[in-house]
Amino acid sequence: MALMTDEASETTGAEAATQAATEAAADAAAHGAVIVGVIPEQSTRVLKEAARYARLFGVPLLIAHVDVTRFVTYEDPDGYVHSAPIDMNLTGGAADLAAVTTTATGVLDGSGITWSVRQLVGDPALAIKHLADDVDARLIVVGTRRRGIGESIREFFTGSVAARLAHRQQRPILVVPLGEPITDDEEIWPA
């Protein structure tokens, strides 16, 4: 399933076919890639670790940013995915993608690896799983989230992206810790 978004409210059949062909070519070029899920303002450690594994495996790095403000409405038989925003006034997905691309450029330019950025939509675990299936990914790399009561509650109800990926596909997953680890006597779920 191709997971690129269509930002325009109306897309002609020819534009959709061109987009699907472009997506298929991009998937072929990324065959066997290391996929890394990236969000804005995330530690660059996640990108650096993913790049290190892409270099070790001799495969491209595919940076996936999932726009959770959009959802998949339907998929054409040729694989083109139509999406819609959850809130018609939200434009954060484009800004977030630009921020991820800028960070990736700063970290990866001159690294000697082939890399690209892909915008996905919907549930992060499912979107990354489908992308991994499409490109027959070698490895999936994700980071942990910042600690805090809000994140703890979210993960309690939805589960972490890494845990949900681990239960929904067969590829190895590398979880890169983002900050300082908690001490052995510190509560993971603060009261």
- The number of folded domains in the chain is 1
Asked whether residue 43 is assigned to any structural domain, the reply reads yes
pLDDT at 129: 93
As a whole number, mean pLDDT of residues 83-98 equals 65
Asked whether residue 21 is assigned to any structural domain, the reply reads no
- Rounded to two decimals, what is the model's pTM? 0.73
pLDDT at 30: 85
Tokens of 185: 């006597």
What CATH number does the domain containing 52 carry? 3.40.50.620
> What are the beta bridge partners of residue 75?
81
Asked whether residue 62 is assigned to any structural domain, the reply reads yes
What is the DSSP secondary-structure string of 71-123? EEEEE-TTSPEEEEESSTT--HHHHHHHHHHHHHHHHHTTSSS-EEEEEEES-
Asked whether residue 145 is assigned to any structural domain, the reply reads yes
What are 113-141's pLDDT values in tens digits? 999 999 888 888 888 999 999 999 999 99
What is the residue range of 109's domain?
32-68+91-176
Note the Cα 30 to chain centre separation in Å.
14
Please provide the average confidence, as pLDDT, over all residues in the chain: 77
Three-state DSSP class for 174? strand
Asked whether residue 59 is assigned to any structural domain, the reply reads yes
